[in-house]
Amino acid sequence: MKKMLCAAMAAVLCLSLLSACGGKQKEEKNVDLAAFAQTLTENHEFAAFVQRVDPTDEEFGGIMLDNSYPGLKELDPEQMEIYLSMVSFSTGEFALVRAKSAEDAAKVKGIFQARIDGMTEEGMNYPETVELWTNSSRLVDHGTYVMLVCHEDADAIVNEFNALFS
């Protein structure tokens, strides 16, 4: 009888440990990327050429977005704030996206990494652009939130982004 009771108690203990480990998922914070983008433009000096891209503007914004981040619009993110240089050389930029799922966030990271790779390899033939993208571009994520930034203050901007989630 004692053995049976000990075995039952051990089973209950094991099950309680397993249930404590699984099932509880940390709820993701709701971050306003438009407000964060505004903060970035106020706190960090971006060239006057860096402007917000409106993905719904098919004549200009949609084309700029497709040229710089092909495939991003098709993912239909929850939130998207893209700031690009409107001149032929890059003076920095940033892109903030909240994807609908972890799988889409991984795709966004791939799109952003392709942008970094393209700018560091080609850089529109401007050595300063290649140097900026090589030394000052960062790609970070928190769950379904993904940020790409290319700016001289990239590390400080990453810290500000990370602070949104702590």
Q: What pLDDT, on a 0 to 100 scale, did the predictor assign at position 11?
A: 46
Q: Are strands 50-53 and 79-85 parallel, antiparallel or unpaired?
A: antiparallel
Look at residue 16 in the predicted model and tell me its pLDDT: 46
Q: Which tokens go with 110?
A: 């791939």
CA distance to 135, 145, 155, per residue, from 25 (Å): 36, 16, 29
**Contact predicate 75/112, CB 8 Å:** no
Confidence of residue 142 (pLDDT cuts 50, 70, 90): very high
Could you read off the pLDDT of 2-56 as tens digits, one per residue?
444 344 444 444 444 444 444 444 567 899 999 999 999 999 998 888 999 988 8
Alpha carbon distance 16, 10 (integer Å): 10
State CA 145 to chain mean position distance: 5
Distance CA 138, CA 141 (A): 10
pTM for the model stands at: 0.81
> Contact 39/94 with Cβ under 8 angstroms?
no
Q: Distance between CA 54 and CA 96 in Å, rounded?
A: 13
